[in-house]
Amino acid sequence: MSEFDNVNAAPPPPPPPVSVGPTVEEKQWAMFAHLSVLLGGLLSSAFGGWGYFIGPLVIWLVKKDTMPFVADQAKEALNFAITVSGVFVILWILTVMTLGIGGLLTIPLMLIVGIAALVLTIIAAVRANNGEAYRYPLTLRLVK
């Protein structure tokens, strides 16, 4: 036998596709983690905004051991929600300490922070749904 006997042999089959990146389910849960910040803020804004971090916290606690991408994005959303809540608390304290006069400055700042949070959360949800890990700017990373 020579080395040319297998000239007409079929080429070997291609290797099976390797799943790179998060699954569709992981992308959806990561998107839900980001959008839950919005939902929590809308539902609890009358009560001081304590609900911002409830959604991402629950998703992180439930999915942290089974879906690493979701755990990462839920932690990021949780850190962002804690940061935004902290900024609002500080601005309210400044308003109260100045007997409301500081409201001339703090209320427009609250509006700006609220709009920025809305825009950044939507961007994060879209990126997470595309399978990209998103990092919020100016966020304290308290949950590691």
Residue 64 has pLDDT above 80, yes or no: yes
Would you say 67 and 39 are in contact if contact means Cβ atoms under 8 Å apart? no
Rounded to whole angstroms, the maximal C-alpha distance in the chain is 98
Q: Is pLDDT at 129 greater than 80 in this prediction?
A: yes
Q: Which residue has the tokens 């089959």?
A: 13
Q: How far apart are CA 133 and CA 51, in angstroms?
A: 23
pTM over 0.85: no
> How does pLDDT run across 22-37, given as a tens digit for each residue?
899 999 999 999 999 9
Is residue 52 within 8 A of residue 118, CB to CB? The reply is no
DSSP 72: H
Indicate the angle between helix axes 68-97 and 24-44, nearest 10 degrees. 20
79-128 pLDDT, tens digit per residue, is 999 999 899 889 999 999 999 898 999 999 999 998 999 999 999 999 99
Mean pLDDT for 35-64 is 82
